[in-house]
Amino acid sequence: MAAAATRGDRHAMALLIERQQRALYASAVTLLGSSWDAHDAVQAALTEACASIGTLRDPSKVRPWLAQILVNKCRDTLRDRKRVSPVADAEHLAEMEVFLGSEDDRDLREAIRTLSEERRLVVVLRFFLDLNYEEMAAVTGCPVGTVKSRVYRAIRELRGQVRAAGGSAHG
Amino acid sequence: MDDCSEVRSELDAHLRGELSFELSAAIEEHLNSCASCRAESENVREISVSVRRLGLMLEPVRPLVPQLTNPRSRMRSHVARVGVAAALAWTLLATAAVFSPRLTQWLVVFPSSRALEENRALVAQERRRADQAGDEGAALERQLTVVLFEQLPRGAKSALMAYIDGVRPLKYRSSQPPLLAVLQREGLGASPSSAELSSIRSVEHREPDALRLHIRLLVRFERVVGARVVPFVIEVSRNGGSEWKVTAAKREESR
């Protein structure tokens, strides 16, 4: 499908977009903390992807390629804000989405939002966009070893926060 | 492999089966002899499963992209197509409004899906003709640079550019003020009525270079001004990157 899209097959490109849009949105809203900004970032990323799909040399790399475009768009948005506020309040997040998760899921989401920007990025790349470590290294511009240790630390931090939240909720 | 911290940073990749056979075997060996890392491995597995599941729950109320590609869903396709047409029509109106106050008197109707199909045929025809005649657009006189385009909501730009690129699935979804608000802000009045416009005649792509870095688009449309039908052309350009600008807009010679 990606190969067909790179050859200019619009139908294949549309299918590709449909399959990726949910993961891209989940990533953008997690990185930006705002569903409004996430919509814009994903649309901008998809527009750029549609315009430049012909430049993608290796169709098997379409997911990291899309991820790179999205991350760049999110960085642009954060830069545009002129203020570092990747963590938005829950009311703001509720504006354009329905979250049907359990209390545990909410705790986990809250924990991800409090991660540092670099840890949140690797969490998104790994678990939402499903990149492998080599691909994550390319997107983040860091060595594979650094990315691995960042992911592990993020997981450990998340586990600590979720346990603390669960403990306080039940205690 | 004896170093616990080294093992732990590999646990996620190990659990996903992404490591080499040798490295995986070494980690398994370590886990068999280290209860602490074994417990940590279980923690990593639990959190990674939970985070992955969380990613599937995060979705917007409205779809980002309408599902156009399912051939069984003609209605959805039609609705999305009309949505793009509406976005395009609004964008053109807002853009053109900047260079002519007379637009306040112009009347607009969104092109029907049939009109869009006809437009596409016209686009293809014009592209073939342009290919044969060379870069005829080079003679286009740049009378006015329209800056409103840059002020449009990003979603509206996306919709227009998606249309330009021939990728219709992208639909106008803006979190910014709608184009109507832009029109009102510019003092151009409320929503136009259906009797007021002549339709967009064509959208023409020009790609002077093979890499598609420099792309010009000519949007031709006609409007009824008084008793006359006046043809207009708007030029939209992109020079590398993804930024587009409306670079020229003019009345075409009366035919």
Average pLDDT over residues B182-199: 32
The model's confidence at residue B64, banded by pLDDT at 50, 70 and 90, is: low
Query: Do residues B140 and B217 make contact, with C-beta atoms less than 8 angstroms apart?
Result: no
Q: Which of B46, B161, B173 sits opposite A39 (nearest CB)?
A: B173
3-state secondary structure of A26: helix
Q: Among A95-99, B12-16, B192-196, B249-253, which stretch is predicted with the lowest mean pLDDT?
A: B192-196
Look up the domain containing A107 and give its range. 100-171
CA-CA distance, A16 to A22, in Å (whole number)? 11
Work out how many domains chain A is built from and give that number.
2
Statement to judge: residues A115 and A77 lie in one domain: no
Rg (CA), chain A: 17
Domain-by-domain residue ranges, chain B? 4-57, 74-251
Does residue A72 or residue B117 have the better pLDDT? Answer: A72
- Give the pLDDT band (50/70/90) at residue B27: very high
Contacts of B167 in chain A (CB under 8 A): 10, 13-14, 50
Nearest residue to A165 (alpha-carbon basis) of A108, A100, A90: A108
- Residue A16: CATH number of its domain: 1.10.1740.10
Average pLDDT for A51-71: 86
List CB contacts (< 8 A) between B55 and chain A.
23, 26-27, 127-128
Q: Which letter, b or e, does each residue of B58-77 get, where b requires 16 or more Cβ atoms within 10 Å of its Cβ?
A: bbbeeebbbebbeeeeeeeb
B170 contacts in chain A (CB < 8 Å): 17, 43, 46-47, 50
DSSP A127: I
| End position of a domain, from candidates A41, A76, A98 | A98
- Is residue A91 domain-shared with residue A127, that is, in the same domain? no
**Tokens describing residue A134:** 């080599």
Output the domain CATH number for residue A117: 1.10.10.10
Binary contact (A108, B50; C-beta < 8 A): yes
Banded model confidence at residue B16, pLDDT cuts 50, 70, 90? confident
Interface pTM (ipTM) of the complex? 0.86
Note whether A126 and A147 are same-domain residues. Answer: yes
B29-33, B70-74, B221-225: range with highest mean pLDDT: B29-33
Same domain, A15 and A94: yes
The model's pLDDT over A3-49, given as tens digits with 9 standing for 90+, comes to 777 766 666 777 777 778 889 999 999 998 877 788 888 888 888 88
C-alpha dist (Å) from residue A153 to A157, B30, B152: 6, 20, 42
